[in-house]
Structure 1
Amino acid sequence: MASPITPSTGLGSGLAIGDIVDALVNSDKLAKQTQITTQTKLVTTKLSGIGTLQSAISAFQTLINPPSGTTSTLQFAGYAAKSSDESKLTVTSDNAAVPGNYTVNVAKVATSSSVATAAFPDGSASAIPSGNLTITQNGISKSYVIPDGATLASVVKQINADSKTSNISANIITDDKGSRLVLNSTVTGADSQITTDSDIEGFTIDATTALDSTSASSAGYIGDLPISAELTINGLKVTSKSNTIDKTLGGVAMTLVGAGTSTVSVSTNTDGLKASLQAFIDSFNTVVKAISSVTKATISDTPDATTGSTVTPAALTGDSLPRSILAQMRDELVTTGATGNLSVLSQLGITTTQSDGTLSLDDTKFAAAVDDKGLAGDVQQLFNGTDSKNGLLARMNTVLTPYTQTGGVFDIRTTSLNKQQKDLLNQQDALNLRVTTLTATLTAKYNAMDLLVGQLKASATSITSFFDSLNASKS
């Protein structure tokens, strides 16, 4: 027959010591463990909710206020210009453009200066004596001190270190006569040729002298001298030092590419405006839906097995933060910013859906505003404003920045929740240590009790045996 004694059963007392200790420890642990578990779940849920909210708002803010150096996808140009031949010129327009067709004949495109020094025999490693080099263009000079031990390659590197400000870059081209230091410019137009003055033999370049490629000692301009662009717009002659022309045809910027005739057509930018408006609406609605997802409680017909409640709160249910953000954003939608023919979004057919607070665009009303009322040119002013503050995008960005900026509301809230989470982990560690200690203490005490009971039982058995023996001897 198997022994009824188990490892958790006292040998002396027969009591289930392990079960007794577990029951006592769990009873002591229950209240604090419940508190820690509940608070941990709450903090984790709130962190998730803040993250969801911050992600949606940051994406919206990036759309309305793109980082420096990037192009916004929200292009609210009321009019679109198109070139019939982009191999001749390309065009862009703004809200000052006037619908119509314009014939543009490009006779010449502006060119830049390119000059070369005399040839050196040892390629980029050619030794260059120390001395001074001055490069001049359009009356602006830049001087360089060429140090001892310089090479053609090191001079190139020295010049290119200033190319962003000087608009002049250097390179090495090796022809049949040797390697030449070649200077090129991003500046175009007549009289923009590059000249150099130097006490280093072969480095002086006269702007009026053409390079003779058959002579190693020749230095001068390569090809032709730079010229200005020449074109006509509807027969009117225009001369420009630059191939980018943005003041000649009102509201239209032209970039000349090659000689020839093309037609520039300017028309209402209905599709472009609609695409930008829809992008704004979609991103705004993403924020609205994110706020709803983290604040709207879920109602169920079946009560929760643990709490008995039929309502399950969302991550930030009852938290004023999401609602405050949404209220401020909605205020800007109906606030008049820059003065003009357009003052609110409803004039463009953008309305708020009452059931969920999202925005929607009515195609019919939008078409009427743009095509019939001629408000296409006013859309950009509504969104971008007349200064850096009064446009809808700028005002919306101002509202959101205190929340999303480094050290802002989201950062403060997240830091606080992370601190709470860490504190709860410390509390859990402390509780686990208490449980371990209490378990060891109670186990030791019950084992000691079990030992004593075993000893008493043994004594009782011994005494009983003694009297039984005594009685037997008397009989």
Structure 2
Amino acid sequence: MASPIASGVGLGSGLNITDIVKVLVQSDTAAKQAQITRQTNNTKAYISGVGALRSALTAFTTAMGKLNDKTTPSFNAFAATSASDSIVKATAGNTAVAGAYNIEVKNLATGSKVASAAYTEGANKSITPGEMVITQGSKTYKITVGDDATLQTVRDQINKELGASGLSANIVTGKDGARLVLGSSTTGEDTDLKVEGIPELEIDGTKSMATEGAGYIEGLAKDAVLTIDGLEVKSASNTVSDAISGLSLQLTGKSAVGVPTTVTVAANNDGLKTSVQSFVDAYNTLQKAIGALTSTSTDADGNLILGSLTNDPTTRSLLSDVRGVLAEVGAGDRLTSLSQLGINTQKDGTLEFNSTKFDVAMRDKKLGGEVQALFTGTGGIFERMNKAIDPYNATNGSLATRKSSLDKTAKHLTDQQAALDRRTESLTESLTKKYVALDTALGKMKAQAEQITSIFDAINAQAKKS
């Protein structure tokens, strides 16, 4: 019985059973298979398209985020350079004034660093339980020291409970024993630490450890002192942001006596142009990605080829919302639109940046001070653009919902394909058995016919002899 199935040709009938069964099975399943294949291909294309669209949107919003970095602003109208970054670094804002400033840093702002008395027992020194009170200026911090506490456990407790407040503790072991050392990230005069409540760990941060056994290590906390064009300025922090209008100074080192560092402030037109070009490039990359996903074309045979998201209503809505942001009027006093900076929308939806018109806006119209507000200010292009994109690309946005729905459809189609495969296998097996049985019956009938024919042939032969 296995022979007809293996060879495909019935021994009894001479028919190709395999081909017959295949044709019958295909006629039964072809319509459903075509439907599943078509829907599966469409679903895969949509899933791929949605994924590509989300990637493009994420890349665009990431690019805007980099241009909107508060620590390194990209749209400042002025740029500041220092003759020596090892002494002072400078950052200019939109309210800066072009000019040069001679800055001499006489000393940096420091924080309080204090140490307890020394103990020969080391980090395992037993500490009396109770309430430790740490005072710094007008601030007070309290820690409850429990039973069986040691110098080491107190250190760990301070770091755990007060680390977020800028306080840190460690144990330093010298020739005279182990000390609990406390430091603070807060700088400036009158921020010296004081520790009370635990007899072994009482520290007066206004007194020297060298003479008192416990106290400050190197000196009192102090303000930064600098001169700007000969005028003395004090600051509790090494970041000085209110001494020169529109200019932030980061003090990084002490000047040699009588040797100032020159900080120069000038218009940042080239930097602004680079940042504007970066935005245009990022936007155009997004537009081209969406264009590729929604395009239509024809192949060599003239057949229409659709993009994975062609005619997709969600993508059309997104594109409309994003382009709408560029058409809105900004809230600036004089600079309210991208066209004033030489940026215009082309027929394909991408942006064209006319650098000559931009230079005129900066040089003649003096619009540099308003560029930052147009892009990164409250209600600016970046804020409005993110608001337009977020409903689509957020974790629970419409594209994520669409992807989830498509995944369910793909799973359903996979299940349908598996069911159809099982039906194909079952139908193939059933029909094959039937045709093999038919072939076997035909074989028997053929053998019987041959036997009868042989008998009659024998009778005829005998009759001829007689």
TM-score (norm 1): 0.90
Alignment partners' CA distance in 2, 1:5 and 1:328: 63
2:387 aligns with 398
Classify the secondary structure of the residue corresponding to 1:119. coil
Classify the secondary structure of the residue corresponding to 2:8. coil
Instruction: From 204, 207, 225, give the equivalent of 1:206.
Output: 204
CA-CA distance at 1:6 after TM superposition: 8.1
Q: Does 1:342 align with 2:331?
A: no
CA-CA distance at 1:473 after TM superposition: 4.3
Contact preservation (8 Å) 1:195, 1:205: yes
1:246 aligns with 241
2:218 aligns with 223
Q: Does 1:152 align with 2:144?
A: no
Q: Does 1:460 align with 2:449?
A: yes
Alignment partners' CA distance in 1, 2:290 and 2:131: 66
Per-residue CA deviations over 1:37-78 (Å, capped at 9, x if unaligned) read 22211211121111111101111112324699x768761111
2:9 aligns with 9
Alignment partners' CA distance in 1, 2:44 and 2:163: 50
Per-residue CA deviations over 1:248-277 (Å, capped at 9, x if unaligned) read 211111122233322221111122212221
Per-residue CA deviations over 1:278-305 (Å, capped at 9, x if unaligned) read 22111111111111111112223x31xx
Alignment partners' CA distance in 2, 1:425 and 1:207: 73
Instruction: From 413, 426, 433, give the equivalent of 1:437.
Output: 426
Classify the secondary structure of the residue corresponding to 2:425. helix
Q: Give the AA of the match of 1:34.
A: A
Given the superposition, is the C-alpha separation of residues 268 and 472 from structure 1 closer, same or farther in structure 2, using an over 3 Å criterion? same
Alignment partners' CA distance in 2, 1:40 and 1:99: 64
Per-residue CA deviations over 1:164-199 (Å, capped at 9, x if unaligned) read 443221111222211111111112222111111134
1:121 aligns with 120
1:344-363 equivalent positions in 2, closer than 5 A: 344-354=337-347, 356-363=348-355
CA-CA distance at 1:378 after TM superposition: 0.4
Instruction: From 301, 322, 334, give the equivalent of 2:315.
Output: 322
Contact preservation (8 Å) 2:332, 2:370: no
2:182 aligns with 183
Alignment partners' CA distance in 2, 1:45 and 1:53: 12
Classify the secondary structure of the residue corresponding to 2:52. helix
Contact preservation (8 Å) 1:63, 1:72: no
Classify the secondary structure of the residue corresponding to 1:11. coil
Alignment partners' CA distance in 2, 1:467 and 1:299: 73
Alignment partners' CA distance in 2, 1:369 and 1:438: 77
TM-score (norm 2): 0.92
CA-CA distance at 1:238 after TM superposition: 2.1
Given the superposition, is the C-alpha separation of residues 473 and 288 from structure 1 closer, same or farther in structure 2, using an over 3 Å criterion? same
Classify the secondary structure of the residue corresponding to 2:204. coil
Structure 1 unpaired stretches of 5+: 304-308
Given the superposition, is the C-alpha separation of residues 384 and 94 from structure 1 closer, same or farther in structure 2, using an over 3 Å criterion? same
Contact preservation (8 Å) 1:66, 1:72: no
Given the superposition, is the C-alpha separation of residues 5 and 428 from structure 1 closer, same or farther in structure 2, using an over 3 Å criterion? closer
Alignment partners' CA distance in 1, 2:457 and 2:88: 126
Q: Does 1:46 align with 2:46?
A: yes
Q: Give the AA of the match of 1:61.
A: T
Alignment partners' CA distance in 2, 1:255 and 1:21: 84
Alignment partners' CA distance in 2, 1:121 and 1:72: 47
CA-CA distance at 1:200 after TM superposition: 2.1
Q: Does 1:255 align with 2:250?
A: yes
Alignment partners' CA distance in 2, 1:5 and 1:359: 67
Instruction: From 371, 374, 383, give the equivalent of 1:382.
Output: 374
Q: Give the AA of the match of 1:207.
A: G
Alignment partners' CA distance in 1, 2:73 and 2:320: 23
1:8-47 equivalent positions in 2, closer than 5 A: 8-47=8-47
Structure 2 unpaired stretches of 5+: none
Contact preservation (8 Å) 1:91, 1:252: yes
CA-CA distance at 1:322 after TM superposition: 2.4
Classify the secondary structure of the residue corresponding to 1:223. coil
Given the superposition, is the C-alpha separation of residues 73 and 16 from structure 1 closer, same or farther in structure 2, using an over 3 Å criterion? farther
Alignment partners' CA distance in 1, 2:280 and 2:399: 23
Q: Give the AA of the match of 1:134.
A: V
Q: Give the AA of the match of 1:317.
A: T
Q: Does 1:174 align with 2:173?
A: yes
Alignment partners' CA distance in 2, 1:280 and 1:148: 61
Taking only aligned residues, the RMSD between alpha carbons, in angstroms, comes to 2.4
